[in-house]
Amino acid sequence: MTPTRSIVLASGNPGKLREIRQALGDLPVRVLGLEEFGRIEPPEERGETFAENARQKALYYAAATGQWCLADDSGLAVDALGGAPGVRSARYAEESFPPGADRKARDAANNARLLAELADVPDDRRTARFVCHLALAGTEGILLEVDDTVEGVIIRHPRGENGFGYDPLFLVPDLGRTIAELPAGEKNRISHRGKAVRHFAALLRSLLAS
């Protein structure tokens, strides 16, 4: 199949790039990484929702590259905290990040803050969900949007060595395991991003056919 359309992924994460390329592998598209366009200053994320941030990034990088651009914004929403950490999921405890902190150190600080804020919340009120919003934009505007979630509860002690971020604290009740206890294939099958990407692929097929 000869690709007929290039799509730029608005992320420098090589894992996300591999995932998107695999998910869209049977479509006539070529998925490009941002590094193929040289240094592009990232936009300041000012949105109050995952959808607003995804749209902003997609439109920004579509204008910067002249290509269709796919962006995602995702994170954790905890009901007892009014939806926090939400769009601040990756920087929830940024005031306590050590200088030059790597992702592991940032994850540990974020998880510590989350557990501290839920310390007095009973187990039956620790419901939460991971949310992923995907937006595809061209220079003419937004072309497609999808979102998906995975429901769970926040446990009191981390479990599992896989994944990253809040995965060790996020228990999927139907499986009896945290996201960090799942092998990669099973995580991709049930995760918010995995489901959103599969939904996006189906809609993109229809868009390309039209």
Nearest to 65 by CA among 133, 2, 141, 7: 7
**Which one, of 70, 96, 80, lies nearest residue 7 by Cα?**
70
CB-based contact 110:89 (threshold 8 Å): yes
Active-site residue, selected from the candidate residues 72, 73, 107, 167: 73
Name the token pair of 85.
Answer: 């950490």
Residue 189, CA atoms < 13 Å, CB-side half-sphere: 7
What are the Cα distances from residue 109, in Å, to 68, 137, 165, 166?
36, 34, 10, 10
User: What is the C-alpha to C-alpha distance for residues 193 and 187, in angstroms, rounded to an integer?
Assistant: 10
β-pair type (5-9, 68-78):
parallel
Q: What's the angle, vertex CA 108, arms to CA 180 and CA 106, rounded to 5?
A: 110
Q: At what angle do helices 192-209 and 14-23 cross, to 10 degrees?
A: 50
73 classed as catalytic = yes
Q: How far is the C-alpha of 94 from the C-alpha of 83, rounded, in Å? A: 18
Looking at the annotation, which residues are catalytic? 73
